Structure 1
Amino acid sequence: MGMDHKPLEKSYSHRFVEPRIVSVGTATPPTGYTQMEVLDHYRITDQGIRSVFLNSHIDQRFLSLPLREAGERPSVESQSELLAKHRVEGVRLAAEALHRCLAPINAAPSDVDLLCCVTSTGWLTPGLSALLVRDVGMRPDCGRLDVVGMGCNAGLNGLNPVTNWARANPGGLAVMICVEVCSAAYVFDGEMRSAVVNSLFGDGAAAVAVRCSDNDTVPAVTGYARHIITSAMDAMRYDWDERHGKFSFFLDPDVPYVVGAHAERVVDALLSRAALGRSDIAHWIVHPGGKKVIDAVRVNLELTHHDLRHTTEVLRSYGNVSSSSFLFAYQNLVDEGAARPGDRAVMMTMGPGSTIESALLTW
């Protein structure tokens, strides 16, 4: 049963209230694949490409792959088929993540006052937010925001206006859903450029609920900082590939080093505004952009492997789930149960632009 819908003018006690992450939920396709299984599925024999897959530090990814006949490669999916996959799987994954997010706070879709949907793996008009309002029982007067095309950093780009809305509408419930059907953006052409992308990304969705609360067992979002590395604007792209007649990703091999070289600047700006240092941070939630990205961030921020255990675990178990990845890592932190009142955490995502986004959480 969902909660009765509360009016936005709900009054609070004298205790200070802030926008807080009150719940999170994740979802993946039903089928997981090891890297070897993906190679076998597409009958990839090139030893260089196989090496990229098998040395990715990824044990499993959840994917929506086309069926194949025994002994044959899967049929090549057209751009229209890939867009249809994004629409169908995106709505399904988003709805599942939404329900898993709302259940712990005894809320129903009809209780949501603002819905923000984030994606970069397909194009839809109307967007995912409108489709979800229709399909999962949300109120037709629910506020909506679609963040499209910002890439792996986009989750924090979306969380910023969501927390600002919650602050301006005390009593309101805001939900952000990051949903990425990365298998709807694959191009299997036997080239190393495509192999790097195809070896890394997985499908999944993550929903996060935000509302004003004085409950210090869940974290308040107390600050943001960001930096766009304009000199590396083309290092991460999702653009049209004329050869294949479809969109495809491009990742420059220098991305990890670009991100690592600028990580300190963003984190120090975030913490200085709160008069904090890195030693004040108990938890680190970093986007699992790949093993080299994680290592570059760890080295440049002088963190330990233990500090980034949640990030590394997401990469190992799900791959890079684009904009939803950092919320999978945050779910790991929640499940661990290690956060205590007074703790602080840094969230950091990175993506096209090249962009680094960060947020400060305080319990």
Structure 2
Amino acid sequence: MTISIEHPADTSVATRLPAISQMVGVGTAVSGTPISQPELLGLMEIEDPRVRSVYLNSAINRRHLTLPTPDAAGRRGAEPQGDLLDKHKRLAVEMGAQALQACLKRAGADLSDLRHLCCVTSTGFLTPGLSALVIRELGIDPHCSRSDIVGMGCNAGLNALNVVAGWSAAHPGELAVVLCSEACSAAYAIDGTMRTAVVNSLFGDGAAALALVSGGREAAPDGTSVAATGPRILKFASYLITEAIDAMRYDWDRAQDRFSFFLDPQIPYVVGAHAELVVDRLLAGTGLRRSDIDHWLVHSGGKKVIDAVVVNLGLSRHDVRHTIGVLRDYGNVSSGSFLFSYERFLDEGTAAPGDYGVLMTMGPGSTIETALVQW
């Protein structure tokens, strides 16, 4: 396979920035059963009106979840940590393989074209890593180089993109894929407490893959060429909010004898207050202002998080329509959420040559990650 890179004619400072690599394909997959918030409340037998309000006011219609099998009485109990790890391994490989294949199909590529696979997950721990398991599952060339990013949380998709874009730049014409596979059902606490309600009401299972290639041509035996029509990646910017390092965390819950994810209720306001800072740094030196950004693809972190970003960056609801739609239909699918939005954006077909876009993810640290791209 040969992928040719086409650059738009533009004389802006940002356009003259050297492209790190180009996004040439995306694919997503889900697992489990689609379930609405009222249905989930019924299955979990939650009657507390305060807890119910968290679910019912989440701006989520449905999510895909793989819940434990009900017992003889029809009740679903908490799963031991070992069972959750098994669930993560099974779902992450299944969803990941489906998303990767969908991504390569959209890029006009085959599994045999893949030269580097980077897998991202935070909903379980595996050794060997997810990348090795996916390579075995799909029969990918065992010479394919790989990397795994584990435990960084919802922001990790852009962390991986940053790293793999560097690999891509060092290997012109070779295909790399970032694969985010999050079995959030494997990090689920079956109870009706307010502490877990924030998490239980939010996350869903999902995987997303993004294909990258840098400039140049790779000799192909059949002489074929695939036009790379996706956006060029121009720049990254990050911000670690160290004073809020414990606001989002996944650690051992001694009371439940399992890992448990915690979200501080104040996190939307923490993220919102720092969003402007990191976006301004991203645009610094490019000659661009926020008003020059045509498209915003933001992590579906939750209703309050999205609202905080919109207010602090002066965006419209239309600017984050894909983010809102993904939250509504899938919930927060962690590290791959922004790629679900990117897939919807591509399907919409509204990008024009020369348009600028900002990708933004948020997660534990607390961290905000951004990337500047151009079509």
Q: Classify the TM-score, shorter chain.
A: over 0.9
Point out the more displaced range, 216-225 or 284-293: 216-225
Residues 111 and 138, structure 1, Cα contact 8 Å, conserved in 2: no
Checking the alignment, whether the CA contact within 8 Å between 1:27 and 1:96 is kept in structure 2 is: yes
- The answer to whether the aligner puts 1:59 opposite 2:69 as a matched pair is no
The answer to whether the Cα contact below 8 Å between 2:4 and 2:215 also exists between their aligned partners in 1 is no
Q: TM-score, normalised by structure 2?
A: 0.91
- Quote the residue 2:167 is aligned against: 165
Instruction: Determine if contact 1:217/1:341 at 8 Å carries over to the other structure.
Output: no
Secondary structure at the counterpart of residue 218 of structure 1: coil
Higher relative contact order (CA 8 A, sep 6+): 2
Distance change (3 Å), C-alpha of 1:358 and 1:191:
same
Partner AA of 1:150 in structure 2: M
Between the two proteins, what is the percent identity of the paired residues?
Answer: 58
- 2:260 corresponds to 1:258: no
Relative to structure 1, the CA distance from residue 200 to residue 12 in structure 2 (aligned partners, 3 Å threshold; closer, same or farther) is closer
Indicate the residue corresponding to 2:319 in structure 1: 307
Secondary structure at 2:310 match in 1: helix
Range 48-57 or range 69-78, more displaced: 69-78
Matched, 1:272 2:284: yes
Asked if 2 retains the 8 angstrom alpha-carbon contact of 1:178 and 1:323, the reply is yes
SS of 1:152's equivalent?
A: coil
How far did residue 188 of structure 1 move?
2.0
SS at match of 1:113: strand
Q: Which amino acid aligns with 2:260?
A: S
Does structure 2 retain, via aligned residues, the 8 Å contact 1:217–1:340?
no
1:239 aligned to 2:241? Answer: no
Kept after mapping to 1: 8 A contact 2:154/2:335: yes
Label 1:48 to 1:152 Cα distance change in 2 as closer, same or farther (>3 A). Answer: same
Match of residue 340 from structure 1? 352
In structure 2, the CA distance between the partners of 1:12 and 1:20, relative to structure 1 (3 Å rule), is: closer
Question: Among residues 302, 309, 314, which one is paired with 1:290 in the alignment?
Answer: 302
Structure 1 partner of 2:328:
316
Distance in 1, Cα, partners of 2:190 & 2:245? 25
Return the alpha-carbon distance in structure 1 between the equivalents of residues 54 and 364 of structure 2. Answer: 22
Distance in 2 between the 1:106 and 1:200 partners?
A: 34
- Match of 1:124, SS state, is coil
Partner of 1:48: 50
State whether residues 112 and 140 of structure 2, in contact with CA within 8 Å, keep that contact through their aligned partners in structure 1: yes
Equivalent AA in structure 2 for residue 50 of structure 1: R
> Which residue type is aligned with residue 276 of structure 2?
E
Partner residue in 2 for 1:193: 195
Q: Aligned partners of 1:82 and 1:69: how far apart in 2?
A: 17
Please state whether the residue corresponding to 1:332 is helix, strand or coil: helix
Q: 2:235 aligns with which of 223, 229, 233?
A: 223
Deviates more, 1:61-70 or 1:305-314: 61-70
- Contact 1:110/1:137 (<8 A) preserved: no
Map 1:61-76 onto structure 2 (within 5 A): 61-69=63-71, 72-76=74-78
C-alpha displacement of 1:12: 8.5
Deviations 1:177-222 (A, max 9, x none): 0010111001123210101100000000000000024857310010
Query: Alpha-carbon deviations, 1:57-83, whole Å to 9, x = none?
Result: 100101111222576211321100000
Relative distance call for 1:12 and 1:332 in structure 2 (3 A) is closer
Change beyond 3 A, Cα 1:175–1:81: same
8 Å Cα contact 2:54/2:197 also seen in 1: yes
Where does residue 174 of structure 1 map in the other structure? Answer: 176
What is aligned with 1:90?
A: 92
Q: TM-score, length-normalised on structure 1?
A: 0.94
1:226–1:356: 8 Å Cα contact kept in structure 2?
yes
CA contact under 8 A between 1:156 and 1:358: conserved in structure 2?
A: yes
Q: What is the CA deviation profile of residues 257-279 of structure 1, one whole-angstrom value per residue up to 9, with x for unaligned ones? A: 00000000000100113221011
Q: Give the Cα separation in 1 of the matches to 2:6 and 2:357.
A: 26
- When residues 12 and 330 of structure 1 are mapped into structure 2, their CA distance, relative to the original with a 3 A threshold, is closer
Secondary structure of the structure 1 residue equivalent to 2:149: strand
Give RMSD over aligned pairs: 1.9
Give the secondary structure class of the aligned counterpart of 2:78.
coil
Q: Verify the 8 A CA contact 1:238 1:249 in the aligned structure 2.
A: yes
Closer/same/farther in 2, CA of residues 298 and 121 from structure 1, 3 Å limit: same
Segments of structure 2 that go 5 or more residues without pairing to the other structure are 9-17, 217-226
Asked if the contact 1:35/1:59 (under 8 Å) is kept, the reply is: yes
- Out of 153, 156, 179, which is 1:154 matched to? 156
C-alpha distance after superposition, 1:222-252 (max 9, x if no partner): 0000000000000000000000110000000
Match of 1:134 in 2: 136
Structure 1 segments unaligned to the other structure (5+ residues): none
Structure 1 residues 133-167: Cα deviation after superposition (integer angstroms, max 9, x where no partner)? 11101111111110000000000000001111111
**Which amino acid in the other structure matches residue 315 of structure 2?**
L
| Cα distance in 2 between the residues matched to 1:342 and 1:141 | 37
* Native 8 Å contact 2:26 2:107 kept in 1: no
User: Following the alignment from structure 1 to structure 2, what is the Cα–Cα distance between the partners of residues 220 and 296?
Assistant: 28
3-state DSSP class of the match of 2:148? strand
| Number of residues of Structure 1 aligned to a counterpart in Structure 2 | 356
